Amino acid sequence: MDIKVSEYLYTITNASGASVTLSRIGAAIVSVVVPDKDGQLGDVALGYDDPQSYIGDAPCIGKCPGRYANRIALGRFSIGDKQYSVPVNNGPNHLHGGPEGFQNKVWDARVDGDAVEFMYFSPDGEMGYPGNLKVVARYEWSEQNELRLTFTARTDAPTVINLTNHAYFNLDGEGSGDIRDHFLRLNASEYLPTDEGLIPLGDSEPVAGTPMDFLMPKKLGRDLEADFPAIRYGKGYDACWVVDGASEGQLQDVAELWSEKSGRRLEVVSTQPGVQVYTGNWLSGCAPGKHGHIYEDYAGVAIECQHFPDSPNHPDYPSTLLLPGDTYEQAIIFAFSVKK
């Protein structure tokens, strides 16, 4: 495995020439170059050429948001009998750790064998969160074109944490158009209905008989404009599904994305109990992408393995509480292959 390092970027290339490029800005996935059905290498991850475009970008392209990915209702939560307030930056709600979340920080980085590790230290009170928190995001790239991301974190005071990666994929190549014809399968028979601000209402509901049903592969565009609350509220898919069979600490099949045009397939497995699927509904107007490409709405899809939105305010959801002495650890694997 060959690793090339520049000021911000780390590129890992395997023996076949397939590669992944990572950035210290937001511990981001900048590119994933993998073969199509004809053996032609292409970059399937959306991103920017200008490093400055990664700072404060609304789509959070490729980066690792935190301290809490996704939304917290009204920017308020409690730990025990103490209430905390965090910045509201998405309508009335808090999103992705706030405007100065982990995605907008320059992380420390090091090469560890064939892996690249990014570390960020979040001081007590940053963006309103309690506890000094040390986070490590470790990326490994295999000869089989599997990208493994492992998060670990420790705190010195009770806090809440929810980490994921916000890469957008287009298996026909970034800048090649939209993902309406991509087939998606989700290992999820239930999803979380939300209010108009995309805050979960409470219990999950079956996907059966709704546009949220991806138990069998279905084109993303088929129901993208359906008159259904979960789609209408987000102008496309921006919802959390409950992963079937999820068990703490155990890798579980989450999703499969496939393009008939390129033949590329992405399989996602994770230890996380939920997956937020976001079809890039508001990409238009973001900074120019790589090679000058202009990303319009639906130019890529994010498959974000994570805990549920607003979990700190839902005691019946899988806990996102991290206590001193405990270690937060979650893994996500993006496995790329060809399906002819």
Residues with a known catalytic role:
166, 304
Whole-number Cα distances in Å, 339 to 46, 197, 235, 261: 21, 38, 30, 10
- From residue 224, alpha-carbon distances to 8, 54, 60, 212, 218 in Å are 36, 27, 21, 10, 11
- The structure tokens listed for 123 are 């001081």
Task: Work out whether the CA dihedral 53, 11, 328, 273 comes out positive or negative.
Answer: positive
**Contact of 94 with 72, CB cutoff 8 Å:** yes
CA–CA separation, 158 vs 259, rounded Å? Answer: 43
Q: Helices H, strands E: what count in the chain? A: 1, 26
Spatial distance between the Cα atoms of 135 and 153, rounded to a whole number of angstroms: 4
Contact 299, 280 (CB under 8 A): yes
Tell me which H or E stretch contains 231. helix 229-232
CA distance 129 to 260: 44
DSSP state of 229: H
- Confirm if 198 and 232 have CB atoms less than 8 A apart: no
Partners of residue 163 on adjacent β-strands:
none
